[in-house]
């Protein structure tokens, strides 16, 4: 099970994240309306952590610019990006593309199949007007009918107490390959509580 810690921005906090948690992925938010918005590449420390850029209905040009400027390994599309948009982007980059699906109540699986050739994974998050970072969970039972082989990440309001439920879900849905941790692990926006992350990681991975 992989771990992504999202919404990172502060230098010392990022260094502590790498040292103490060493997650598989670190998320940087490039949505200007977010309290976790990152705008200065030079303020981020050098680490070995793989960076995922989070974008909401951003232009292709701007995404590709950020990929270079921030050394992104993956692009998380967290808005209403169409299959055609994702296809066009995939033709211009070899970076991973993660398509976020914002969940209200049910999921129309058929409408998602067009993304499959162009993405590395889906990421399921709770639908909210702010697009993400709501700290709200959706009803995970909608994922029980997940029909694809492609892996996905689970997101939306995961907190310290979620590890056991995640493990139980992964028993029934092996395509669940990772979790995305964000606002419930913060002391303030973009400042993660390393002790809370440590305790979650220990429960999830036993280390
Ligand atoms: O965190 C944000 O501010 C944000 C803003 C706009 C789009 C995505 C955002 N974050 C993503 O939201 C999910 C869930 O976060 P939470 O656990 O509910 O706080 C996560 O995938 C972040 O990448």
Cα 164 to ligand 1 centre (Å): 21
- The number of distinct structural domains making up the chain is 1
Ligand 1 first shell, C-beta below 6 A: 6-7, 27, 29, 31, 34-36, 54, 56, 78, 125, 131-135, 155-158, 180, 182-184
Q: Counting atoms of ligand 1 from 1, which one is nearest the CA of 35? A: 3
User: pTM for the full model?
Assistant: 0.96
Vertex 152 angle, CA 151 and 155, to 5°? 165
For ligand 1, the distance from its centroid to the CA atom of residue 88, given in whole angstroms, is: 24
In this structure, are residues 7 and 36 in contact, taking their beta carbons and an 8 Å threshold?
yes
Q: Which residues contact 78 (CB under 8 A, 6 or more apart)?
A: 31, 54, 55, 56, 100, 125, 131, 132
What's the rounded Cα separation, in Å, for the pair 20 and 102? 31
Which domain, by its residues, includes 89?
2-205
Low-confidence ranges of the chain (pLDDT < 50): none
Q: How far is the CA of 8 from the centre of ligand 1 (A)?
A: 11
pLDDT of residue 204: 96
For the domain that residue 59 is a member of, what is the CATH number? 3.20.20.70
54 C-beta neighbours (distance < 10 Å), count: 31
According to the model, what pLDDT value does residue 105 have? Answer: 87
């Amino acid at each position: 099970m992989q771990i992504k810690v999202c919404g990172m921005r502060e230098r010392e906090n990022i260094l502590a994240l790498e040292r103490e948690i060493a997650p598989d992925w670190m998320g940087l938010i490039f949505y200007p309306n977010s309290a976790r918005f990152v705008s200065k590449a030079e303020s981020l420390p050098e680490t070995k952590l793989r960076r995922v850029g989070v974008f909401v209905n951003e232009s292709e040009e701007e995404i590709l610019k950020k990929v270079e400027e921030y050394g992104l390994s993956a692009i998380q599309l967290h808005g209403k990006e169409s299959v055609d948009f994702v296809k066009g982007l995939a033709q211009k980059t070899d970076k991973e593309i993660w398509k976020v699906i914002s969940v209200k109540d049910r999921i129309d699986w058929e409408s998602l199949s067009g993304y499959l050739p162009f993405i590395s994974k889906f990421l399921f998050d709770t639908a909210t007007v702010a697009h993400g970072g709501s700290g709200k969970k959706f009803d995970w039972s909608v994922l029980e009918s997940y029909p694809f082989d492609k892996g996905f990440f689970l997101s939306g309001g995961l907190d310290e107490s979620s590890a056991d439920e995640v493990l139980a879900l992964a028993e029934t849905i092996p395509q669940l390959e990772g979790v995305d941790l964000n606002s419930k692990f913060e002391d303030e926006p973009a400042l993660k509580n390393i002790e809370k992350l440590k305790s979650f990681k220990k429960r999830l991975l036993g280390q």
